[in-house]
Amino acid sequence: MKRQSKVLKMVWAAMFLALAYVLPFLTGQIPEIGSMLCPMHIPVLLCGFICGWPWGLLVGFAAPLLRSMMLGMPPFFPKAICMAFELATYGMMAGILYKILPKKKTSIYVALIGAMMMGRVVWGTAMFICMGLSGGEFGLKAFLAGAVTNAIPGIIIQIVLIPILIMALEKTKERE
C-alpha cells in the first residue's frame, strides 16, 4: 500500500509539473500578465498540499527552469532562477505547514498564506543576490512591486481557488 501511495504522489506531481508548464500559455506568453496572474504558482502550491513538501519543492524548483530552457520564458537569468527558489519554497512550505497544522479549514489558509509570504521573501532575496552579482540593483521598492503590487490579481486568485480545491479534495478523501 505504501508503494502505491508513492507512485500516486509521483503521478500527481508529474501532473502538477505539466500544469505549471502549460498554464502560462493562458497569459499569452505576455510577461506582464504572467507576473500579475502567477499561473505557475497554483499547481506548485497544490502539489505541496497534495503530494507533500518534497514533491512541492521539486516541482516548484523544476517548473520555471524547465519552461525557461525549453521556451525561453521566463528569461533564465535572473527571472527563472529566482522563480525556481520562490516556487520551491511555495511547494515546500505549503506541504510542511499543511502537515503540521491542525486539520481545520482555517489551517489551509494559514498554510497557504505562510507559504506565499515565505516564497516572496525567498524570491526577493534571490533577486537581490542575482542583481548584485550582475551589477544591478534590487531595492525595497522593486521587491514590493514584484512581490506584492504587481501580483495582487494572482494573490487573490490563489487565496480564493486553492482552499476551495483542497477542501473539495479532502471531502472526496473522506468519502473513500
Rounded to whole angstroms, the Cα distance separating 48 from 64 reads 16
Greatest pairwise CA separation for the chain in angstroms: 56
Residues ≥6 apart with Cβ < 8 Å to 66: 17, 21
Within 72-151, where are the H helices?
81-100, 105-133, 140-147
Q: What is the pLDDT of residue 34?
A: 84
Chunked mean pLDDT (size 10), the chain, 176 residues: 86 98 86 88 98 98 98 95 98 98 96 98 98 94 94 96 96 80
Q: What is the pLDDT of residue 1?
A: 59
Inter-CA distances, 25 with 33, 35, 125, 164, 171, Å = 11, 13, 27, 23, 31
Q: Which of 94, 151, 74, 86 is nearest to 120 (CA)?
A: 86
* DSSP 8-state symbol, 150: G
State how many domains the chain has.
1
Question: CA torsion angle for 50, 14, 116, 132 (degrees, to 10)?
Answer: 150
User: Helix-strand-coil percent breakdown of the chain, rounded to 5?
Assistant: 85, 0, 15
Based on its alpha-carbon atoms, the radius of gyration of the chain, rounded to whole angstroms, reads 16
Q: Which residue is associated with the grid cell 476551495?
A: 164
Give the domain extent around 162: 2-175
Q: What is the CATH number of the domain that holds 19?
A: 1.10.1760.20
Rounded to whole angstroms, the Cα distance separating 46 from 85 reads 17
